[in-house]
Amino acid sequence: MSNQLTIANFNLRNWIRASSDIEQYYFYSPGRHNYYSAAQFKEKSAWVQQQLIALDADIVAFQECFDETSLLACIRGTDGHADSKLITAPLDEKTRETQGSQVVFNAPRVAIAYRSTWRCTHWVAHQRFPENLALQTKVSDGSNRDWRMDLQCNDTPLNQFNRAVIEAHFESSQYPEQRICVFAAHLKSKRPLAANLDGDLDLAQYVIEDAVGRARSLMIRTIEACAIRALTANQIAKDPSVPVLVIGDLNDSPRSVSTHIAGGDEVPSIHSDLVEDHDQRQRQRMKLGDYQLHSALEMQTRKSHRDVLYTHVYNGHYDVLDHVFVSNHLVPKWMRDRHGGTQQSIGRVGSLRVYNDHLLNTELDDLSPREVGQSLHTLSDHGQLSCRVEFDSRST
C-alpha cells in the first residue's frame, strides 16, 4: 500500500431507492419522472458501480443522495468496496414525508463514503453557518455610503446551508500519523429562485423576474461559499498541521466569484491603515498564506499546459462545476511562493481526472433538453472527478 490518497466527487443526480407495488419512493414530489422503477434502479446502480470501479477512490463525496441505505448497499456491492462506510447528514422531519404508500424525499443530502484504507476519526454535519461569519455587519465603502446584507429565509437572516456541509477527519490506516480534514459540499444551483407571477403573462415582467431569480440564487450560493471559507479558516487556525481538502459540486465555474470565495485561492491584502509597519505587514501576509487553498484543476492545467476538462454540459456549454481544493500542505512550495505561507509541503496533487463520456450535448447530439434528461435519468448529469494526492515519505 503506497502512501497516497485518491479522493473523488460524484453527483448522483437524484439517488433514491426503487419503487415497488407496495411502496413508492419519490424525490421532491410525486410524479412519473421523479422515481425509479425496479428496472431503472438496477440500471442506475450498475452504472454507479461501474463509475466507482473506474474512480478507484479511497474517499468519495456524493451529492443528491436522498436515501443512504440503498446507496450504501450499492457501494458495498461494488468490487473493491465491500468494506466501505458511509457518512450522511441526518434526516429531519422535513426531509421525508409519508403519504399512505408514497414516501417523498424533499431534500437531497451530501454524503461521504470511505474504504478501509482510511479511518474516519470524527465528523460533523454543518447545517448552520459558523458563528464568526458576520454577514449582517454594516460596512462603509469610503464614499459616505453604508452597506449591509439582508438576505432572509423564512423571515430570518440567512444563517444556514441549503444542504449541510460534511466535515470529516481521516487518518491513514497504514500511516496513522497522516491525517486530513475533508469538507464535502453542494452549493445552491444556478436555477432561478423566482416568484410565481399571477394573472396574465407579462413577458417583460417574466424576463425581469427570471433575472432577479438568478440573482437570488447567486447571492445564496455566494453566501454559502463564504460559510465554507469560514469553516476551512477555522479548521486551519485550530490545527494548522492537518491538510484541508474542499470537494464537491460548487455549482459554478472555476473563476466565478462563488468558487473563488469557497476555494480561498487568493491571500487577502493587509492595508497599511491596519498595520503601519511594512515588515510586520509582510510577516502577517506570510502567515495569511497558510489559510490559502489551491485548485487541483488549476494545478493540473499548469502541469499539462492545457485545460480540456469539463464536468457538466448545459445548452451546448461545457463547464467545470465540481471542484477539489487543497491547502498549502499538498502544494509544492515553488507553486505558492508569491502567496506566502509558513507550512511545509508534505505532499502534492498527482493527477486530476474526469469521467464524463456519458454527458450529452443538445447542440451536437441533436437532442432536446427533455430527451437529455430522460437519457441521464439512470446516469448522472455530472462528470465524476478523481484527484490523486501523493504524500512525501518523510511526512510519515
Q: What is the pLDDT of residue 280?
A: 82
Q: What is the pLDDT of residue 326?
A: 96
Identity of residue 322: D
Average the pLDDT over 276-302 and give the result.
Answer: 85
Average the pLDDT over 271-285 and give the result.
Answer: 80
Strands 160-172 and 102-105, by their bridges, are: unpaired
pLDDT bin (cut points 50, 70, 90) of residue 2 is low
pLDDT at 284 over 90: no
What range defines the domain where residue 136 resides?
4-395
**Eight-state DSSP code of residue 343:** P
Asked if residue 233 lies in contact with residue 181, where contact means CB atoms within 8 angstroms, the answer is no
275 C-beta neighbours (distance < 10 Å), count: 15
Q: How far apart are CA 264 and CA 241, in angstroms?
A: 18
Number of structural domains the chain divides into: 1
Q: How far apart are CA 244 and CA 182, in angstroms?
A: 6
pLDDT single digits (tens) 35-54: 999 999 999 999 999 999 99
pLDDT single digits (tens) 349-380: 999 999 999 999 988 888 888 888 888 999 99
Between residues 339 and 6, the one the model is more confident about: 6
Average pLDDT, the chain: 90
pLDDT at 337 over 80: no
Q: What is the pLDDT of residue 29?
A: 86
CATH number of 37's domain: 3.60.10.10
Q: How far apart are CA 304 and CA 297, in angstroms?
A: 10
The residue among 155, 157, 88 whose CA lies nearest residue 128 is: 157
Task: Using DSSP, state whether 334 is helix, strand or coil.
Answer: helix
Residue 192 Cα distances to 38, 227, 374, angstroms: 33, 21, 22
pLDDT at 1 over 50: no
pLDDT at 146 over 90: no
Strands 59-65 and 384-391, by their bridges, are: unpaired
Helix, strand, coil percentages (3-state) for the chain, rounded to 5, are 30, 30, 40
Residues 76, 78, 83: CA angle, nearest 5 degrees: 40
Bridge partners for 351 per DSSP = 388
pLDDT at 344 over 90: no
pLDDT single digits (tens) 44-103: 999 999 999 999 999 999 999 999 999 999 999 999 999 999 999 888 767 778 888 898
Rg (the chain; Cα; Å): 22
Residues 185, 15, 311: CA angle, nearest 5 degrees: 55
